[in-house]
Amino acid sequence: MIKVTGLTKKFGTFQALNGLDMQVKAGEIYGFIGQNGAGKTTTMNILAGLSRPALGECTVNGKDITKLTHPGDLNIGYLPEDPKFYPWMSAHETLCYLSGTQGGDNIQEILRWTGLSEVQNRRVGGFSRGMKQRLGIGAALIRNPQLLILDEPSSALDPEGRSEVLSLIRDLKGIGKTILFSTHILDDVERVCDTVGMIDNGKMMFEKSLAQLQKEYTQPMFDITPASAVKSGILELLERLPGVVSLTNS
């Protein structure tokens, strides 16, 4: 779905991307992590066809970004970090406006998927940040794309809002969508991702499956209770073992 090789981007003298390599496979949820300013949004804008790289190769849905004439040709769904809507419109009116239709089954299905059916006639100006994010994901689904690019979809949300957005992302994978989302919240990555890529100073530091990362970096933890009393010297040795969090002598 996405293949990036040697992607480079500058803003004046600032090197935003420095030879970035990246691959997102069909059907997976890819978590793109890094600190603020690491290059996540710059990368997402290029992948969405909103910006051009200075150097490098980048294909999205089999199309060369550098030869793109219009972002709509990519057939992707894109959610910017802070989506903007007309506050006087309802959720239903917003989706109809963006789709160029008067509504119908597709709009109602999107409202149902995003959990906004019951509030579809409320003005967006009264929505919480989490509801606006879900509406933004709904807007990204209007053309029924197979690939979704979501820039910080769970940032600045309260725990309930984050949980709702992550649940929606997980559900979208269940109907065959491929999702690339950026975040700086590691817990979100652990909850939903198949693959994780970490960017720092415009370079990809690693790109691995979540299972592989957990195997490499997650240390097992043990609560030890011996079946019979043991000598204090042995207890001290057991306490020094990696991963031992508690030790109770019988």
Please give the Cα distance from 250 to 247 (Å, whole number).
10
pTM recorded for the entire structure: 0.83
Query: Are 180 and 204 spatial neighbours (Cβ–Cβ below 8 Å)?
Result: no
Task: Considering only residues 230 and 79, tell me which one the structure prediction assigns the higher pLDDT.
Answer: 79
Contact of 130 with 156, CB cutoff 8 Å: no
**What 3-state class would DSSP assign to 249?**
coil
Q: For residue 218, what is the DSSP state?
A: P
User: pLDDT of 49-66, one tens digit each?
Assistant: 999 999 999 999 989 998
Domains of the chain (ranges, CATH numbers): 2-218 (3.40.50.300), 220-250 (no CATH)
Tell me which long-range contacts 140-143 makes (C-beta under 8 A, separation of at least 24): 140/77, 140/78, 140/79, 141/77, 141/110, 141/113, 141/114, 141/172, 142/77, 142/95, 142/98, 142/99, 142/106, 142/110, 143/75, 143/77
Instruction: State residue 146 phi and psi, 5-degree precision.
Output: -85, -20
Average per-residue pLDDT for the chain: 89
Q: 138-193, pLDDT tens digit by residue?
A: 999 998 999 999 999 988 788 888 888 899 999 999 999 999 999 988 889 989 99
Q: What is the pLDDT of residue 245?
A: 66
Regarding beta strands 63-64 and 55-60, do their DSSP bridges make them parallel or antiparallel, or are they unpaired?
Answer: antiparallel
Q: Reduced to 3 DSSP states, what percent helix, strand and coil does the chain have, rounded to the nearest 5?
A: 35, 30, 35
